[in-house]
């Protein structure tokens, strides 16, 4: 897909994703250097291999994808199959990031600076730029309100395509469709195709009881990071006061005065982020929680194992 979106006014960066902002975030990542990861996909045996960098050992061939280096076409397999195939070397087979992007309706909410949906898009864009700087391919799978897929691509084209997809998906009409996290993780396992890194971005409200088993199974195949995006009201009790809330054009005031009332209100709002954080930490998956005011770069860098090179 193209990274540019014709006939669309750019979002304001608060309630709608701004494509210009997502592209500009690429200037902040510097020359990222990602830590080595274990390739856990079964390859005719149980031995795993580590990503070292620009190794030149031939690993396998697969169907050509947009952005592949045409100098590495496997002409013999192409002739036999009738379809273009690319030779993959060790670092290319392993150097791939899959971003799982929550688009459930609960993300279209925010009381500080921006909606959670906008913050999640900023997180995904930073992750795509970091992967690009590190020489990794990046693909995305949207789930929840909208079901979309961006096939893995490399280089600047891959990062720009990710930014374009994020802006395009955010502009889609809101739906009442929802999807449990367990189903999402099962689909991710089927779409993974050897990705060495998986980054789950969500506010946690889709977390269900079956998600634990599927997260453990995905963990056995890839290095996983979970970034939970929450609103300030979902993370800490609000100060006493009257809070105007708007939903579907209907505006109501919520009066919160007593300490117990404010704490229970926060716990109700924050149940989703709390469930996902507990799930991730319970199965030993790296997890960070940020709110809509935070700079996502430090959290994303930690989850992806950036070891240096940031500006």
236 φ, ψ to 5°? Answer: -150, 150
Q: What is the mean pLDDT of each run of 10 residues along the chain (311 residues)?
A: 50 96 94 64 38 52 83 90 83 73 95 96 97 91 94 93 97 90 93 82 97 95 95 90 77 87 88 97 97 97 80 47
Q: What is the pLDDT of residue 11?
A: 92
Q: What is the pLDDT of residue 67?
A: 73
**DSSP secondary structure code for residue 306 in this structure:** B
Q: What is the pLDDT of residue 128?
A: 97
Q: What is the pLDDT of residue 45?
A: 36
Q: Residues 6 or more apart from 229 whose CB is under 8 A from it?
A: 107, 116, 119, 120, 123, 201, 202, 203, 273, 289, 290, 291, 292
Q: Residues 6 or more apart from 256 whose CB is under 8 A from it?
A: 238, 240, 241, 242, 243, 262, 265
Q: What is the pLDDT of residue 21?
A: 97
């Amino acid at each position: 897909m193209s990274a540019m979106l014709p006939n669309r006014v750019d979002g304001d960066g608060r309630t709608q994703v701004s494509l210009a902002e997502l592209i500009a975030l690429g200037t902040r990542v510097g020359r990222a250097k990602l830590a080595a990861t274990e390739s856990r996909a079964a390859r005719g045996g149980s031995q795993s291999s580590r990503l070292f960098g620009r190794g030149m050992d031939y690993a396998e061939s697969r169907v050509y994808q947009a952005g592949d280096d045409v100098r590495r076409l496997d002409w013999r397999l192409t002739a036999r199959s009738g379809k273009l195939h690319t030779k993959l070397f060790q670092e290319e087979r392993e150097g791939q990031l899959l971003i799982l992007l929550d688009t459930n309706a609960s993300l279209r909410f925010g009381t500080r600076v921006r909606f959670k949906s906008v913050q999640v898009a900023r997180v995904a864009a930073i992750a795509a730029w970091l992967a690009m700087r590190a020489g990794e391919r990046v693909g995305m799978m949207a789930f929840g309100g909208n079901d979309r897929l961006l096939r893995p691509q490399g280089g600047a084209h891959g990062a720009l395509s990710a930014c374009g997809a994020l802006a395009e998906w955010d502009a889609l009409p809101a739906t009442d469709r929802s999807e449990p996290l367990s189903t999402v993780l099962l689909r991710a396992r089927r779409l993974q195709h050897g990705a060495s890194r998986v980054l789950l971005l969500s506010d946690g409200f889709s977390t269900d009881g079956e998600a634990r088993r599927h997260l453990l199974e995905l963990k056995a195949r890839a290095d996983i990071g979970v970034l939970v995006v929450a609103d300030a009201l979902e993370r800490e009790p609000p100060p006493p006061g009257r809070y105007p809330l708007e939903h579907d054009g209907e505006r109501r005031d919520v009066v919160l005065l007593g300490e117990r009332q404010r704490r229970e209100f926060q716990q109700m709002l924050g149940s989703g982020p709390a469930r996902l954080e507990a799930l991730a930490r319970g199965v030993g998956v790296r997890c960070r929680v940020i709110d809509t005011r935070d700079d996502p770069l430090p959290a994303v860098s930690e989850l992806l194992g950036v070891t240096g090179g940031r500006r």
